[in-house]
Amino acid sequence: MRYLVGFLILCAVGLAVLSLGCGQDCPQAGCSDEVRVGLAPEIEVTYDVTFVLDGEPGAFTCLRYYDDLREAWLWRPQPYRRLHPFCSGKSFVFEHARPVLVEITVSAEDGSWNGSLTASPTYEAVHPNGADCPPTCHQAGLTMTNDVGAFEVQP
């Protein structure tokens, strides 16, 4: 019995040493849960986004401006949890968010773009450092389309 206990302890220590010595070195890339919303077609002016994520309302403005003769975008949020939206004329992202239900309305300042969307995002697991390394994030993509002109009477 004494030999069996000693053998089991030796096996446990050996496995621990092997796992440390042969462990996988994981890169340190990070990621976050997010919902990316694509805009079709692209918006070319400043626009407002109002939203409800799992029953909690919020809003932000995506400002288009020029900095040293190049186009740039800046978001100006209203307070909403720890949400960090990023935006451009092609899309915006709700970062650090994993809502079950989203309701979104987008309106361009000049009236050229207007759209609404209610959806339950389908998330995919993302492993930026490989399947065996942390972190694991959940990301989804949605697309909004421009409703302006959709109901115009055709001659």
Structure tokens at 32: 């976050």
- Check if the beta carbon of residue 53 is closer than 8 Å to that of residue 121: no
Q: What is the pTM of this model?
A: 0.73
Q: pLDDT of 92-111, one tens digit each?
A: 898 888 999 999 999 999 99
**Nearest C-alpha neighbor of 64 from the set 90, 92, 44, 41:** 44
Q: What is the pLDDT of residue 145?
A: 95
How far is residue 2's CA from residue 102's CA, in Å, rounded to a whole number? 63
The confidence score (pLDDT) of residue 58 equals 86
